[in-house]
Amino acid sequence: VQLLESGGGLVQPGGSLRLSCVASGFTFSNDAINWVRQAPGKGLEWVSVIGGSGASTFYADSVKGRFTISRDNWKNTALLHMKSLRAEDTAVYYCARAPTTVTPPIVYWGQGTLVIVSS
Amino acid sequence: SYELIQPPSVSVALGQTARITCEGNNIGKKDVHWYQQKPGQAPELVMYRNTNRPSGMPERFSASNSGNTATLTISRAQAGDEADYYCQVWDSNTGVFGGGTDLTVL
């Protein structure tokens, strides 16, 4: 099982960035994909989740209206489109899989990609 | 919005039992998951749905959930158990993490 994030980097406040998560080693369409972030020296913050088919998506209030989660099951890829970025969005962003059950645990995490929002 | 409160730090003597709490309003009615994160690493699931251990997780790890408090218990604590521990629940289709607890093994 592998989740490989990419797309992080330095971006100016107000800018946009797209994170990618490429999955392997499991049936991608069977699982929900979460994005969870961790600001430097801080705790975990859940960001967003997309269901296995992509039909259902949910967001944390802190990113609602600015971030969009999507997936392409043919390419085993999940995306997180981020716009209107703020300094407080600076964090390591983890892609993480969870079963498509009610209140599932997050069973596997990628190694994360760092996003820095700064001028 | 739903909140989970954890103590910032817990210390335990080598070989003794550590207990990490996670407080939330009627958390006993929710499924609680626990994650371990060592420095520089991604989190790892250590307990799920209150009392279940993932395959390969030592039996030294256990958990309970009742009322307004969920508890992760680590028996016979080892130096390798030093890490940050996070509780997590789902509330109205959104994920919620506790603030995390830094476990020190003395």
Tell me the residues of A at the B interface, defined by beta carbons under 8 Å apart: 34, 36, 43-46, 49, 56, 58-61, 94, 102-112
Joined tokens for residue B99: 């603030």
Amino acid code (one letter) for B50 = N
Q: What is the pLDDT of residue A13?
A: 97
Q: Which residue in this structure is represented by tokens 């990628």?
A: A110
pLDDT per residue, tens digit, chain A (119 aa), is: 999 999 999 999 999 999 999 999 999 999 999 999 999 999 999 999 999 999 999 999 999 999 999 999 999 999 999 999 999 999 999 999 999 888 899 999 999 999 999 99
Which pLDDT belongs to residue A101?
A: 85
Question: What average pLDDT does the segment B89-93 reach?
Answer: 94
Query: Given this model, what pLDDT does residue A102 score?
Result: 84
Return the sign of the alpha-carbon dihedral for residues B65, B68, B74, B76: negative
Q: Are B86 and B43 in contact (CB under 8 A)?
A: yes
CB interface of B with A, residues 40-99, below 8 Å: 42-45, 48-49, 54, 84, 86, 88-90, 93-99
Whole-angstrom Cα distance, residue A102 to residue B72?
22
Show residues of chain A in contact with B86, CB under 8 Å.
Answer: 43-44
- Angle at the Cα of B71 from the Cα atoms of B67 and B73, rounded to 5 degrees: 150
Tens digit of pLDDT for each residue in B3-53? Answer: 999 999 999 999 999 999 999 999 999 999 999 999 999 999 999 999 999
CA angle (A26 as vertex; B87, A79 as ends), nearest 5? 70
